[in-house]
Amino acid sequence: MDGTSEGRLAGTPHEPASETLEEPLVSASRELADVSFGAITDAEFDGDEASELRLQWATPDGLEIVGRGVAARLTATGPTRFDDIHQQASNLFADLEHDGPAIARPRAFGGFAFHDSHDTVAEYDETATSDTADTADTDARNSHWQGFDAASFVVPRVFVTRSDTDDLTGNAKIWLTAVGTDASETSDRLERWDERLADLPAMQPSGTSPGVAATERTTTREQWAGQVDAALERIATDRLRKVVLAQALSVDLEDEIDVASTLERLRRRYPNCYRFLISGHDGSTFFGAPPERLVSKRGDRVETEALAGSAPRGEAPEEDEAYADEMLASDKLDREHDLVVEAIRDQLEGLASELYIGDRGIRKLATIQHLQTPIEATLAADRHVLELVEGLHPTPAVGGMPPEAAWETIRDTEPFDRGWYASPIGWFDANGDGEFAVGLRSGVATADRVTLFAGNGIVADSDPDEEWEEVQLKFRPILDELR
């Protein structure tokens, strides 16, 4: 029976999950022929598994995972949510037995709400589909995020892993893994899904854009100018040095969106970005193509970056270089970027035996370019990646400086809930290794509506008009794929 082993650690709607695992997780993998990850996400099957949780994760260095269903779910709320998930993870993975290669091992995927006060309470219905999503008449501040807890991670019941990097032959292998608490059930599931996936195409057409019927902004240009001016006043009093202010843009679609094919189109246009898709428990889907790594940890090696400071791409190469040179020469962007580097340095210094801050460079994406500084560290002692996530989130690239004054300004200013926008989105494993992106260039979708989020850093000398234009550039990755 497939439905029985699910959710042993799932919390009740009103309290974080904290029970110990009754039976340890078991998992088994086998190699697969090539199969389209979008097709796995979209495939409809009969029975229990007909419409269940879907997730996708892909990194710029070629790890791709697509998962279906829930073998275990961890949830938590409030300021202690990072530590609560960490504690639950220790139980969840304590006696995990994995029969397969390390690359195909079980991982827990998910994310955190941006704000400590995120108060969506889960009503789990793992069979919800986008057809049943109806968030229209709930509280406007929260309505997009009804399906997303303050912290939620899932070990998928079935997932497929492809990696370009872990095979020394350079040939990407594809693995199917099934997870459960009963070895024979899990091996039956592996068999069943192997047969199912064999019928799916190796390549799926990337589909067509759903088309935009109407758009609705949270913030008019005039309101934005007022918000930036108010932030500049706080900055002038020295209470605040930088704040990242965001806007939301809701898009009514002409046709239903296929999020998996939207992600496939984003892969082609933004090949060096992360890609993620996570279904909420109300049938909505949070997805995006963020350029920014919050942190990755493998053993004692940590990689992160400062990504802050934005400019358009030029039409011609000379114009493009002029924008980049202007960014590198700007005192304003220098301060804005430095605050991010300094905050990351402060967080990592106490944990690292070695810390390397690279040279500042330019990160070019299809529609925007950013100042970027690579940062690497060697940990002095064993740490869980969630400890690093907690320490780093939010960096001043998406929050501000000092953090408390920035959070207060964001909450006083933004007329919508950030939910999981600009938050840590990623995975961790039984060893406490993992990787998290910053949930930017993202949106939350129901069948016929997508709400996009984008923001920009405000410092002394910020000009409301310029900041407005940069925010619009950050809507483009997703918006272009909807049009």
Ligand X SMILES: C=C(O[C@@H]1C=C(C(=O)O)C=C[C@H]1O)C(=O)O
Residues that bind ligand X (CB under 6 A): 244, 246, 292, 307-310, 370, 397-398, 422, 440-441, 454-457, 474
Strands 242-253 and 285-288: unpaired
CA neighbor of 399 nearest in space, from 153, 116, 145: 116
**Residue 186: CB minimum distance to ligand X, A:** 40
Q: Which of 15, 280, 23, 286 is nearest to 154 (CA)?
A: 280
Q: Which is nearer to ligand X, 285 or 456 (CB)?
A: 456
**Which residue's CB is nearer to ligand X, number 309 or number 464?**
309
Nearest to 56 by CA among 333, 286, 232, 247: 286
- Closest CB 418 distance from ligand X, rounded Å: 10
Q: Judged by CB, which is closer to ligand X: 126, or 417?
A: 417
Question: From the CB of 178, what's the least distance to ligand X, in Å?
Answer: 36
Of residues 66 and 459, the one with the C-beta less far from ligand X: 459
Minimum gap (Å) between residue 273 Cβ and ligand X: 11
Can you tell me whether residue 259 is helix, strand or coil? Answer: helix
- 3-state SS of 143-199 is HHHCCCCCEEEEECCEEEEEECCCCCCCCCEEEEEEEECCHHHHHHHHHHHHHHHHC
Among residues 6, 52, 64, 242, the one annotated as catalytic is 242
Packing angle, helices 385-392 and 81-92, rounded to 10 = 170
Backbone angles phi, psi at 102, to 5 degrees: -60, -35
Which helix or strand (DSSP H or E) is residue 226 part of? helix 221-236
The full DSSP string for 77-110 is -STTHHHHHHHHHHHHTTT-EEES-GGG---EEE
From CA 284, how far away is CA 299, in angstroms rounded? 35
- Which residues, including other chains, have CB under 8 Å from residue 235's CB and lie 6 or more apart? 241, 242, 243, 458, 459, 460
Q: Is the peptide bond before 394 cis (omega within 30 degrees of 0)?
A: yes
> For ligand X, which is the closer residue by CB, 53 or 397?
397
The minimum distance between CB 244 and ligand X, in angstroms, equals: 5
C-beta of 187 vs 367, nearer to ligand X: 367
Q: Is residue 242 among the annotated active site residues?
A: yes
Is 148:120 a contact under the CB 8 Å cutoff?
A: yes
- In this structure, are residues 9 and 73 in contact, taking their beta carbons and an 8 Å threshold? yes
State the minimum distance, in angstroms, from the CB of residue 246 to ligand X: 6
Q: How far apart are CA 352 and CA 383, in angstroms?
A: 10
Query: Catalytic residue among 52, 126, 264, 292, which?
Result: 292
Q: How far is the CB of 438 from ligand X (least distance, A)?
A: 7
Q: Which is nearer to ligand X, 432 or 457 (CB)?
A: 457
Catalytic residues: 242, 292
